[in-house]
């Protein structure tokens, strides 16, 4: 069980953050501060250093705090014979004052073997239950939960602030340098302050090299800014909705599964409607249904002319009884036609079989099978049965192969 992010073993991503932060600060002090005008150099350098120091402090606080579940903490403390939080449990959690709450909602963790808080989740990386589990941060090599989430949020804000200041300063320096450098090379202008300061950088006369270094770190800052803005706004949205990252992921996956089920129900209904339209001879409606059902292109381009979606838009729930009655009447007509055709065309050898089919169709006609979704119900089984019987009759008379239909 890992107590916190400062406990060994350290992972490569965590070590990378320890190297990256000092490198960014050192690069700004050596390649940006000497080139900036004095009026901008002092405040920009102070802001970057303050944000860097805040980042280091928030990182330490977030990594040093153990977000262990309070009930598991007390259980471990009783096992070791120490006080709450003991030498193996890290810092104690101040949220419950170390007291058992009889009214607390709990669940059983099969890995830890005890009841933990209902919001706790077992982290496979730290091998412990984390109270109000948010996520496991590989950059910090620790879990983020109720005890250290606020420090994590401040850490993201401080890093983003430092990168915004760094990126703005470096972008100004790089753009101004190359504009002045191009003007001097073309003879249009004698140069400028940024070009002069870059060429006189530590009396080395390597202005172009300084600009290249600033350009490389500007690209790094731009990538970091994009990622940090997404992360910071994402956690602002989570705080607004009072949910955790883990809860957000679970909800997103559940919504994805629900959309998949709705799409499957829609496709089943589309297949039934296509076959019904073809048997009715309404080829225009069948073509519209097929075009709207084409993956990607049809769903986007032909969506306005999709009869199914138009019915849903116009109030499909109100029209549902009429549509079911219409489909039921079509099924009865097909059954009647099939019965009359079978009496005149079937051979004696098939009479028993067709009789059984007729009896079966009578029994099945009395049972209405409905496929229900969240807001709609579709009668498809009698339709498919009638289509299969019509296909068998066609195969006896014309010698064609039977057609298998997808049933629900």
pLDDT, position 199: 82
80-105: average pLDDT = 49
Q: Do residues 142 and 129 make contact, with C-beta atoms less than 8 angstroms apart?
A: no
pLDDT, position 345: 47
pLDDT, position 270: 84
pLDDT, position 360: 39
DSSP 16-32: HHHHHHHHHHHHHHHHT
Name the residue with higher pLDDT: 103 or 199.
199
pLDDT, position 241: 92
Among 149, 380, 109, which residue's Cα sits nearest to residue 271? 380
pLDDT band at 405 (very low <50, low <70, confident <90, very high): very low
Does the structure show a pLDDT above 80 at 207?
yes
Name the residue with higher pLDDT: 128 or 206.
128
pLDDT, position 48: 95
306-321: average pLDDT = 62
pLDDT, position 55: 96
Q: Indicate the Cα dihedral angle 156, 161, 163, 164, nearest 10°.
A: 130
Task: Please tell me the distance from the alpha carbon of residue 1 to that of residue 132, in angstroms, as a whole number.
Answer: 18
Average pLDDT, the chain: 76
Least confident of 17-21, 64-68, 89-93: 89-93
% of the chain beyond a pLDDT of 70? 69
Name the residue with higher pLDDT: 231 or 78.
231
Q: Do residues 44 and 162 make contact, with C-beta atoms less than 8 angstroms apart?
A: no
- Longest CA–CA separation in the chain, Å: 110
Which ranges of 191-292 does DSSP label H, i.e. alpha helix?
Answer: 193-199, 207-241, 245-280, 283-292
| 302-311: pLDDT as tens digits | 777 777 777 7
| 236-254: pLDDT as tens digits | 999 999 999 999 999 999 9
Q: Do residues 155 and 5 make contact, with C-beta atoms less than 8 angstroms apart?
A: no
Does the structure show a pLDDT above 90 at 282?
no
CA R_g for the chain: 35
pLDDT, position 26: 95
pLDDT band at 325 (very low <50, low <70, confident <90, very high): low
Does this model's pTM top 0.85? My answer is no
| 34-43: pLDDT as tens digits | 999 889 999 9
312-339: average pLDDT = 58
Name the residue with higher pLDDT: 68 or 344.
68
pLDDT band at 390 (very low <50, low <70, confident <90, very high): very low
Highest mean pLDDT among 160-174, 184-198, 329-343: 160-174
pLDDT, position 351: 38
pLDDT, position 63: 93
Does the structure show a pLDDT above 50 at 145?
yes
pLDDT, position 322: 58
pLDDT, position 379: 41
Q: Indicate the Cα dihedral angle 49, 53, 58, 63, nearest 10°.
A: 130
């Amino acid at each position: 069980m890992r107590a916190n992010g400062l406990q060994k073993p350290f992972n490569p991503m965590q070590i990378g953050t320890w190297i990256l932060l000092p490198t960014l600060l050192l690069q700004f002090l050596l390649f940006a501060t000497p080139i900036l005008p004095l009026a901008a150099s002092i405040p920009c350098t102070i802001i970057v250093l303050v944000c860097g120091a805040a980042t280091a402090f928030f990182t330490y606080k977030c990594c040093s705090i153990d977000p262990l579940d309070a009930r598991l903490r007390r259980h471990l403390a009783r096992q070791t014979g120490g006080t709450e939080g003991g030498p193996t449990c890290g810092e104690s959690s101040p949220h419950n004052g170390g007291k058992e709450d009889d009214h607390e909602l709990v669940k059983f963790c099969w890995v830890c073997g005890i009841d933990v808080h209902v919001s706790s989740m077992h982290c496979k990386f730290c091998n412990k239950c984390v109270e109000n589990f948010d996520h496991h941060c590989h950059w910090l090599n620790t879990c983020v939960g109720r005890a250290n989430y606020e420090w994590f949020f401040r850490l993201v804000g401080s890093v983003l602030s430092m990168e915004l200041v760094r990126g703005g300063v470096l972008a100004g320096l790089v753009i101004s340098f190359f504009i002045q450098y191009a003007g001097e090379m073309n003879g249009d202008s004698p140069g400028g302050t940024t070009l002069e300061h870059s060429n006189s950088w530590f009396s080395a006369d390597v202005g172009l090299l300084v600009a290249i270094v600033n350009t490389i770190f500007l690209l790094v800052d731009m990538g970091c800014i994009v990622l940090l803005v997404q992360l910071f706004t994402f956690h602002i949205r989570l705080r607004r909705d009072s949910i955790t990252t883990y809860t957000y992921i679970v909800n997103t996956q559940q919504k994805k599964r629900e959309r998949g089920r709705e799409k499957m129900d829609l496709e089943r209904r589309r297949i039934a409607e296509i076959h019904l339209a073809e048997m009715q001879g309404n080829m225009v409606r069948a073509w519209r249904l097929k075009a709207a059902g084409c993956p990607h292109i049809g769903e986007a381009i032909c969506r306005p002319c999709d009869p199914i979606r138009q019915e849903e838009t116009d109030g499909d729930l109100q029209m549902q009884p009429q549509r079911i009655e219409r489909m039921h009447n079509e099924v009865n007509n097909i059954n009647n036609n099939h019965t009359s055709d079978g009496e005149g065309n079937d051979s004696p050898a098939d009479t028993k079989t067709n009789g059984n089919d007729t009896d079966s169709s009578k029994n099945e006609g009395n049972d209405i099978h409905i496929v229900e979704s969240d807001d709609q119900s579709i009668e498809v089984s009698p339709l498919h049965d009638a289509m299969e019987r019509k296909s068998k009759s066609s195969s006896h008379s014309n010698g064609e192969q039977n057609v298998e239909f997808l049933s629900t």
